[in-house]
Structure 1
Protein backbone atom coordinates (compact mmCIF):
# COMPACT_ATOMS: atom_id res chain seq x y z
CA UNK A 1 0.00 0.00 0.00
CA UNK A 2 2.88 2.37 0.81
CA UNK A 3 4.42 1.80 -2.66
CA UNK A 4 1.08 2.60 -4.28
CA UNK A 5 0.77 5.82 -2.27
CA UNK A 6 4.30 6.85 -3.33
CA UNK A 7 3.50 6.06 -6.95
CA UNK A 8 0.37 8.23 -6.91
CA UNK A 9 2.24 11.05 -5.16
CA UNK A 10 4.91 11.06 -7.87
CA UNK A 11 2.40 10.86 -10.72
CA UNK A 12 0.19 13.58 -9.26
CA UNK A 13 3.00 15.94 -8.30
CA UNK A 14 2.41 19.09 -10.38
CA UNK A 15 5.80 20.73 -9.98
CA UNK A 16 8.98 18.90 -9.21
CA UNK A 17 12.12 20.96 -8.78
CA UNK A 18 13.56 20.20 -12.22
CA UNK A 19 12.17 19.90 -15.69
CA UNK A 20 13.03 20.55 -19.29
CA UNK A 21 11.39 22.58 -22.00
CA UNK A 22 11.85 21.29 -25.55
CA UNK A 23 11.22 23.50 -28.56
CA UNK A 24 10.28 21.04 -31.32
CA UNK A 25 10.49 21.99 -35.01
CA UNK A 26 10.10 20.20 -38.30
CA UNK A 27 7.71 18.92 -40.93
CA UNK A 28 5.34 17.37 -38.39
CA UNK A 29 5.60 19.07 -35.01
CA UNK A 30 6.20 22.68 -34.10
CA UNK A 31 5.81 23.91 -30.54
CA UNK A 32 6.99 23.45 -26.99
CA UNK A 33 6.91 20.33 -24.82
CA UNK A 34 7.35 20.69 -21.06
CA UNK A 35 8.53 17.69 -19.05
CA UNK A 36 8.65 17.36 -15.27
CA UNK A 37 11.67 15.24 -14.37
CA UNK A 38 11.39 12.78 -11.47
CA UNK A 39 14.65 13.40 -9.62
CA UNK A 40 13.31 11.52 -6.59
CA UNK A 41 12.68 8.41 -8.73
CA UNK A 42 15.72 8.42 -11.05
CA UNK A 43 18.21 10.95 -9.64
CA UNK A 44 21.23 9.87 -11.69
CA UNK A 45 19.31 9.82 -14.98
CA UNK A 46 17.70 13.20 -14.28
CA UNK A 47 21.10 14.68 -13.40
CA UNK A 48 22.54 13.39 -16.67
CA UNK A 49 19.66 14.77 -18.77
CA UNK A 50 19.78 18.18 -17.10
CA UNK A 51 23.57 18.41 -17.40
CA UNK A 52 23.40 17.53 -21.10
CA UNK A 53 20.60 20.06 -21.64
CA UNK A 54 22.53 22.79 -19.82
CA UNK A 55 25.55 22.27 -22.11
CA UNK A 56 23.35 22.57 -25.21
CA UNK A 57 24.21 19.19 -26.72
CA UNK A 58 20.52 18.26 -27.15
CA UNK A 59 19.92 21.32 -29.36
CA UNK A 60 19.35 20.23 -32.98
CA UNK A 61 19.02 16.52 -32.15
CA UNK A 62 16.35 14.72 -34.19
CA UNK A 63 13.57 12.32 -33.28
CA UNK A 64 15.18 9.42 -35.13
CA UNK A 65 12.83 6.59 -34.13
CA UNK A 66 9.10 7.29 -34.02
CA UNK A 67 6.57 4.44 -33.91
CA UNK A 68 2.84 5.15 -34.26
CA UNK A 69 0.92 4.12 -31.13
CA UNK A 70 4.16 3.55 -29.19
CA UNK A 71 6.78 6.29 -28.73
CA UNK A 72 9.08 9.00 -30.15
CA UNK A 73 12.81 8.56 -29.42
CA UNK A 74 15.48 11.25 -29.47
CA UNK A 75 18.64 12.28 -27.64
CA UNK A 76 21.44 10.76 -29.73
CA UNK A 77 23.84 13.65 -29.17
CA UNK A 78 26.65 11.85 -31.03
CA UNK A 79 25.00 10.88 -34.35
CA UNK A 80 21.53 12.42 -34.19
CA UNK A 81 22.21 16.07 -35.03
CA UNK A 82 20.22 17.66 -37.83
CA UNK A 83 22.28 17.55 -41.01
CA UNK A 84 24.29 14.53 -39.87
CA UNK A 85 24.36 10.99 -41.26
CA UNK A 86 20.93 9.77 -40.15
CA UNK A 87 21.90 6.14 -40.89
CA UNK A 88 23.83 6.17 -37.58
CA UNK A 89 21.19 8.05 -35.57
CA UNK A 90 20.19 6.01 -32.55
CA UNK A 91 23.57 4.30 -32.15
CA UNK A 92 25.38 7.10 -30.33
CA UNK A 93 25.60 8.58 -26.87
CA UNK A 94 27.23 11.39 -24.94
CA UNK A 95 30.80 11.44 -23.63
CA UNK A 96 29.43 10.84 -20.13
CA UNK A 97 29.38 7.34 -18.55
CA UNK A 98 26.43 5.02 -19.05
CA UNK A 99 24.01 4.88 -16.14
CA UNK A 100 22.99 2.07 -13.80
CA UNK A 101 19.28 1.32 -14.16
CA UNK A 102 16.92 3.11 -11.76
CA UNK A 103 13.77 1.06 -12.31
CA UNK A 104 10.59 2.07 -10.50
CA UNK A 105 6.97 1.04 -10.26
CA UNK A 106 5.78 3.98 -12.35
CA UNK A 107 3.97 2.53 -15.37
CA UNK A 108 4.78 3.44 -18.94
CA UNK A 109 1.65 5.23 -20.12
CA UNK A 110 0.83 8.15 -22.38
CA UNK A 111 3.19 11.09 -21.75
CA UNK A 112 5.72 9.17 -19.65
CA UNK A 113 9.38 9.75 -20.54
CA UNK A 114 11.81 6.83 -20.33
CA UNK A 115 15.49 6.32 -20.99
CA UNK A 116 16.48 4.37 -24.08
CA UNK A 117 19.16 1.71 -23.69
CA UNK A 118 20.71 -1.33 -25.37
CA UNK A 119 20.15 -4.93 -24.20
CA UNK A 120 22.19 -4.10 -21.09
CA UNK A 121 19.88 -2.55 -18.45
CA UNK A 122 22.81 -0.40 -17.28
CA UNK A 123 23.51 1.21 -20.68
CA UNK A 124 21.25 4.28 -20.72
CA UNK A 125 23.18 7.44 -21.55
CA UNK A 126 21.61 10.37 -23.42
CA UNK A 127 18.71 8.98 -25.44
CA UNK A 128 15.15 9.09 -24.19
CA UNK A 129 11.65 8.45 -25.48
CA UNK A 130 8.17 9.88 -24.94
CA UNK A 131 5.22 7.49 -24.90
CA UNK A 132 2.29 8.08 -27.28
CA UNK A 133 0.27 5.39 -25.51
CA UNK A 134 0.46 2.77 -22.75
CA UNK A 135 3.38 0.32 -22.96
CA UNK A 136 3.06 -2.05 -19.99
CA UNK A 137 5.66 -4.41 -21.49
CA UNK A 138 8.30 -1.74 -20.62
CA UNK A 139 7.31 -1.57 -16.94
CA UNK A 140 10.24 -2.45 -14.68
CA UNK A 141 12.52 -2.86 -17.73
CA UNK A 142 13.38 0.78 -18.51
CA UNK A 143 14.02 3.78 -16.28
CA UNK A 144 11.17 6.31 -16.03
CA UNK A 145 12.60 9.84 -15.83
CA UNK A 146 9.57 12.09 -16.14
CA UNK A 147 6.22 12.99 -17.64
CA UNK A 148 4.98 15.50 -20.21
CA UNK A 149 2.98 18.18 -18.41
CA UNK A 150 2.32 20.45 -21.40
CA UNK A 151 2.60 20.07 -25.16
CA UNK A 152 1.39 16.51 -25.65
CA UNK A 153 -0.31 17.80 -28.82
CA UNK A 154 3.18 18.69 -30.10
CA UNK A 155 4.43 15.18 -29.25
CA UNK A 156 1.44 13.70 -31.10
CA UNK A 157 2.41 15.68 -34.23
CA UNK A 158 6.03 14.42 -34.40
CA UNK A 159 6.76 12.95 -37.84
CA UNK A 160 6.37 9.17 -37.79
CA UNK A 161 8.95 6.67 -38.96
CA UNK A 162 8.55 3.67 -41.26
CA UNK A 163 8.87 -0.05 -40.74
CA UNK A 164 9.00 -2.03 -37.50
CA UNK A 165 11.94 -0.05 -36.11
CA UNK A 166 10.28 3.31 -36.79
CA UNK A 167 13.26 4.90 -38.57
CA UNK A 168 12.29 8.37 -39.77
CA UNK A 169 12.92 8.82 -43.49
CA UNK A 170 13.78 12.18 -45.03
CA UNK A 171 13.80 15.18 -42.70
CA UNK A 172 13.00 14.15 -39.09
CA UNK A 173 11.52 16.57 -36.59
CA UNK A 174 14.08 17.83 -34.07
CA UNK A 175 14.61 19.31 -30.65
CA UNK A 176 15.52 22.81 -31.77
CA UNK A 177 16.38 23.92 -28.24
CA UNK A 178 16.26 22.16 -24.86
CA UNK A 179 16.39 24.22 -21.66
CA UNK A 180 16.31 23.28 -18.00
CA UNK A 181 13.47 24.80 -16.01
CA UNK A 182 13.04 25.01 -12.24
Structure 2
Protein backbone atom coordinates (compact mmCIF):
# COMPACT_ATOMS: atom_id res chain seq x y z
CA UNK A 1 0.00 0.00 0.00
CA UNK A 2 1.12 3.55 -0.53
CA UNK A 3 0.22 6.99 0.73
CA UNK A 4 -1.50 8.90 -2.07
CA UNK A 5 -0.99 12.55 -1.08
CA UNK A 6 0.37 14.97 1.47
CA UNK A 7 3.58 15.06 3.47
CA UNK A 8 4.29 11.35 2.97
CA UNK A 9 3.10 11.14 -0.64
CA UNK A 10 4.31 8.02 -2.51
CA UNK A 11 5.67 6.38 0.65
CA UNK A 12 5.10 2.65 0.58
CA UNK A 13 4.06 0.87 3.72
CA UNK A 14 4.53 -2.88 3.87
CA UNK A 15 2.42 -4.65 6.46
CA UNK A 16 3.36 -8.04 7.87
CA UNK A 17 1.74 -10.86 5.91
CA UNK A 18 0.23 -12.44 9.03
CA UNK A 19 -2.20 -9.59 9.76
CA UNK A 20 -5.90 -10.45 9.24
CA UNK A 21 -6.53 -7.51 6.88
CA UNK A 22 -7.80 -6.46 3.47
CA UNK A 23 -6.44 -2.94 2.91
CA UNK A 24 -8.51 -0.48 0.88
CA UNK A 25 -7.14 -0.40 -2.66
CA UNK A 26 -5.20 2.66 -3.78
CA UNK A 27 -7.79 3.42 -6.48
CA UNK A 28 -10.70 3.31 -4.02
CA UNK A 29 -8.73 5.26 -1.40
CA UNK A 30 -7.81 7.98 -3.89
CA UNK A 31 -11.44 8.33 -4.99
CA UNK A 32 -12.63 8.46 -1.37
CA UNK A 33 -10.13 11.18 -0.48
CA UNK A 34 -11.15 13.23 -3.53
CA UNK A 35 -14.67 13.31 -2.04
CA UNK A 36 -13.46 14.15 1.47
CA UNK A 37 -11.07 16.82 0.14
CA UNK A 38 -14.03 18.73 -1.28
CA UNK A 39 -15.87 18.68 2.06
CA UNK A 40 -13.27 19.32 4.78
CA UNK A 41 -9.98 20.97 5.65
CA UNK A 42 -7.89 18.04 6.83
CA UNK A 43 -6.14 20.00 9.57
CA UNK A 44 -9.49 20.98 11.14
CA UNK A 45 -11.05 17.55 11.60
CA UNK A 46 -10.94 14.56 13.92
CA UNK A 47 -10.98 10.98 12.65
CA UNK A 48 -12.15 7.73 14.17
CA UNK A 49 -10.90 4.76 12.14
CA UNK A 50 -12.83 1.59 13.05
CA UNK A 51 -11.59 -1.88 12.10
CA UNK A 52 -8.42 0.00 11.21
CA UNK A 53 -6.36 -3.05 10.20
CA UNK A 54 -3.06 -1.80 8.79
CA UNK A 55 -3.96 1.86 9.47
CA UNK A 56 -3.98 2.58 5.73
CA UNK A 57 -6.78 5.18 5.92
CA UNK A 58 -5.36 6.83 9.04
CA UNK A 59 -1.92 7.25 7.44
CA UNK A 60 -3.57 9.06 4.54
CA UNK A 61 -5.36 11.47 6.90
CA UNK A 62 -2.15 12.07 8.88
CA UNK A 63 -0.17 12.69 5.69
CA UNK A 64 -2.72 15.36 4.72
CA UNK A 65 -2.42 17.18 8.05
CA UNK A 66 -5.07 15.69 10.33
CA UNK A 67 -3.89 15.90 13.95
CA UNK A 68 -6.63 14.00 15.79
CA UNK A 69 -6.78 10.38 14.64
CA UNK A 70 -7.92 7.40 16.70
CA UNK A 71 -7.68 3.83 15.40
CA UNK A 72 -9.71 0.99 16.90
CA UNK A 73 -9.01 -2.66 16.13
CA UNK A 74 -9.24 -5.83 18.17
CA UNK A 75 -6.15 -7.49 16.69
CA UNK A 76 -2.98 -6.94 18.73
CA UNK A 77 -0.78 -7.33 15.63
CA UNK A 78 -2.68 -4.60 13.80
CA UNK A 79 -2.46 -2.20 16.75
CA UNK A 80 1.25 -2.93 17.15
CA UNK A 81 1.88 -2.31 13.43
CA UNK A 82 -0.08 0.98 13.47
CA UNK A 83 1.83 2.17 16.55
CA UNK A 84 5.19 1.30 14.97
CA UNK A 85 4.33 2.98 11.67
CA UNK A 86 2.89 6.09 13.33
CA UNK A 87 6.01 6.41 15.46
CA UNK A 88 8.36 5.91 12.48
CA UNK A 89 6.57 8.64 10.49
CA UNK A 90 5.86 10.86 13.52
CA UNK A 91 2.12 10.68 12.84
CA UNK A 92 -0.41 11.81 15.49
CA UNK A 93 -2.29 8.51 15.65
CA UNK A 94 -3.67 7.04 18.87
CA UNK A 95 -4.71 3.40 19.01
CA UNK A 96 -7.26 1.50 21.05
CA UNK A 97 -7.23 -2.29 21.13
CA UNK A 98 -10.88 -3.21 21.45
CA UNK A 99 -13.76 -5.00 19.85
CA UNK A 100 -15.29 -2.22 17.75
CA UNK A 101 -18.87 -2.92 18.81
CA UNK A 102 -17.95 -2.81 22.51
CA UNK A 103 -16.00 0.40 21.88
CA UNK A 104 -18.98 2.02 20.12
CA UNK A 105 -21.34 1.01 22.92
CA UNK A 106 -19.19 2.67 25.61
CA UNK A 107 -17.41 5.51 23.83
CA UNK A 108 -18.25 9.19 23.94
CA UNK A 109 -15.49 10.17 21.48
CA UNK A 110 -17.08 12.43 18.89
CA UNK A 111 -15.43 12.83 15.49
CA UNK A 112 -15.94 14.69 12.23
CA UNK A 113 -15.32 11.57 10.17
CA UNK A 114 -15.84 8.01 11.32
CA UNK A 115 -14.48 5.49 8.85
CA UNK A 116 -15.39 1.82 9.27
CA UNK A 117 -13.88 -0.96 7.19
CA UNK A 118 -15.26 -4.14 8.75
CA UNK A 119 -14.61 -7.59 7.31
CA UNK A 120 -16.61 -8.11 4.13
CA UNK A 121 -17.69 -11.44 5.61
CA UNK A 122 -19.83 -9.67 8.23
CA UNK A 123 -23.53 -10.43 8.25
CA UNK A 124 -25.96 -7.70 7.23
CA UNK A 125 -26.93 -7.34 10.89
CA UNK A 126 -23.30 -6.68 11.87
CA UNK A 127 -23.01 -4.02 9.17
CA UNK A 128 -26.32 -2.44 10.28
CA UNK A 129 -25.12 -2.26 13.88
CA UNK A 130 -22.26 0.12 13.01
CA UNK A 131 -24.38 3.15 11.95
CA UNK A 132 -26.96 2.26 14.59
CA UNK A 133 -24.40 2.54 17.41
CA UNK A 134 -22.68 5.61 15.95
CA UNK A 135 -25.94 7.59 15.78
CA UNK A 136 -27.49 6.13 18.92
CA UNK A 137 -24.45 7.23 20.95
CA UNK A 138 -24.07 10.59 19.19
CA UNK A 139 -20.47 9.91 18.09
CA UNK A 140 -20.62 11.99 14.91
CA UNK A 141 -20.09 15.74 15.16
CA UNK A 142 -22.47 18.08 13.35
CA UNK A 143 -21.83 18.07 9.59
CA UNK A 144 -19.77 14.93 10.05
CA UNK A 145 -19.71 11.76 7.99
CA UNK A 146 -19.80 8.09 8.81
CA UNK A 147 -18.25 6.17 5.92
CA UNK A 148 -18.66 2.39 5.83
CA UNK A 149 -16.62 0.38 3.34
CA UNK A 150 -18.22 -2.85 2.14
CA UNK A 151 -18.57 -5.14 -0.85
CA UNK A 152 -21.07 -4.46 -3.61
CA UNK A 153 -23.11 -7.40 -2.27
CA UNK A 154 -24.02 -5.48 0.91
CA UNK A 155 -26.80 -2.88 0.71
CA UNK A 156 -26.92 -0.23 3.44
CA UNK A 157 -29.13 2.24 1.55
CA UNK A 158 -32.28 1.55 3.56
CA UNK A 159 -30.69 2.39 6.91
CA UNK A 160 -31.50 5.53 8.83
CA UNK A 161 -29.13 8.46 8.18
CA UNK A 162 -27.94 6.93 4.87
CA UNK A 163 -27.01 9.67 2.42
CA UNK A 164 -25.40 8.07 -0.65
CA UNK A 165 -22.92 5.45 -1.80
CA UNK A 166 -20.07 5.27 -4.29
CA UNK A 167 -18.75 2.15 -5.98
CA UNK A 168 -15.14 1.55 -7.01
CA UNK A 169 -14.62 -1.88 -8.52
CA UNK A 170 -15.72 -4.41 -5.91
CA UNK A 171 -15.50 -1.80 -3.13
CA UNK A 172 -18.36 0.40 -2.01
CA UNK A 173 -18.43 3.31 0.38
CA UNK A 174 -21.75 4.14 2.03
CA UNK A 175 -21.99 7.63 3.50
CA UNK A 176 -24.16 8.47 6.49
CA UNK A 177 -24.82 11.87 8.06
CA UNK A 178 -26.98 13.52 10.64
CA UNK A 179 -30.24 14.26 8.85
The TM-score with structure 1 as length reference comes to 0.28
Structure of higher RCO (CA pairs closer than 8 Å, 6+ residues apart) = 1
Higher helix share: 2
The TM-score with structure 2 as length reference comes to 0.29
